[in-house]
Amino acid sequence: MSDSSGKTKADKLDESLLFLISLTSIIFTIIQAFSGGLRFLLYSIPLLIFGVIMPFYYGYWRGALEDSAIMRVRGWIYLFFGTIGYIFAVIYLSVWESLFPVARAGSMVLFLLSGYLSGTLIRLKILKRIFKLCDKKEVSLIDEEITRSTMNTVLFLLLSLLWCVTSFLNSEACRSSPDPIVCFLFTFLILPSFFLLLGIFYELHSQRMLKNYGKPYRIIVPEKELLEKHGRFIIALRFVLDFLLVFSILLAIIISLLEWKEYLFYAVAFLILAAGLSALKQFLFRRKIVFE
């Protein structure tokens, strides 16, 4: 009776996922019918990838059809963080320049903090809820690590793609910048490449966890081992990362408070860069899972 009940709940969960994916596709089709144009087409690519394709592949194809709870979780994380992150990013970028300087600076800090805190809470809520519906008795450290890496993969790949689209459609901002060459390099090459590499890195980490799923493991604290082997280098690296993180946040806030229209693009870039540096620091110095 328990197995039948669990299977029914899992089936309803899969149907809900397919319904939301279909709803996203329908909304996209309706908007395309009334809007169209190159701008909409380019901005719709991230929504299709993270709101339709990836949730269907992980949540239904790999999750429901293979009856894998952790893959179902990955599909829901792609759907939730992909669509919600996309909506918030598009709205935020569209109203950015119309905000007053103080509101602009405050919204940046609020956006960063609320995104980090809510992301962690919602990710764990999704994980525990789906495991309960699929009759999985407990959530392991491996499950938490996979969902954390999946969430970071979604956010960084989404940022990379959205930033490329926004930079392409607003390329005149760099032409009017006092340093157009630096602006082009930073916005079209350095920043999107940085987020793309972070997203790929986290996805490879998730795949490694999934490949060894169910195997015995142990926990190590890399900072201690690295300090023993490369003490001065690790201390210097942490100092540089902390400095760049604080420096990026301060620059973003200062630029947003000033009435320098030609530099507002940099303020968003520094804010996003700070988020990337924070994630990179956490990955390098957070405790690691080593499989036996």
**What are the pLDDT digits (tens) for 109-154?**
666 666 667 778 889 899 999 998 887 778 888 999 999 899 989 9
The confidence score (pLDDT) of residue 10 equals 85
Higher pLDDT: 251 or 204? It is: 204
Residues 52 and 18: their CA atoms lie apart, in Å, by 9
Residues 287 and 238: their CA atoms lie apart, in Å, by 15
The confidence score (pLDDT) of residue 46 equals 86
| Listed range (20-34, 44-58, 246-260) with the worst mean pLDDT | 246-260
Instruction: Assign 210 a pLDDT band (cuts: 50, 70, 90).
Output: very high
Task: Return the structure tokens found at 20.
Answer: 């939301």
Instruction: Assign 1 a pLDDT band (cuts: 50, 70, 90).
Output: very low
Q: What is the pTM of this model?
A: 0.78
The confidence score (pLDDT) of residue 62 equals 92
Strongest mean pLDDT among 203-217, 239-253, 255-269:
203-217
- As a whole number, the mean pLDDT across the chain is 78
Task: Return the structure tokens found at 252.
Answer: 């973003």
CA-closest candidate to residue 76, choices 102, 99, 104, 57: 57
Say if residue 271's pLDDT is above 60. Answer: yes
The confidence score (pLDDT) of residue 116 equals 67
Residues 292 and 215: their CA atoms lie apart, in Å, by 7
Answer for the pair 77, 150: CB distance below 8 angstroms, yes or no: yes
**Neighbour count for residue 221 (Cβ, 10 Å):** 12
Answer for the pair 52, 24: CB distance below 8 angstroms, yes or no: yes
Strongest mean pLDDT among 111-115, 142-146, 163-167, 226-230:
142-146
Instruction: Assign 252 a pLDDT band (cuts: 50, 70, 90).
Output: confident
Q: Is 59 buried (19+), middle (13-18) or exposed (0-12) by CB count in 10 A?
A: buried
The confidence score (pLDDT) of residue 79 equals 93
Task: Please name the residues in contact with 78: beta carbons below 8 A apart, sequence gap of 6 or more.
Answer: 50, 54, 55, 58, 59, 150, 154
Mean pLDDT throughout 245-258? 73
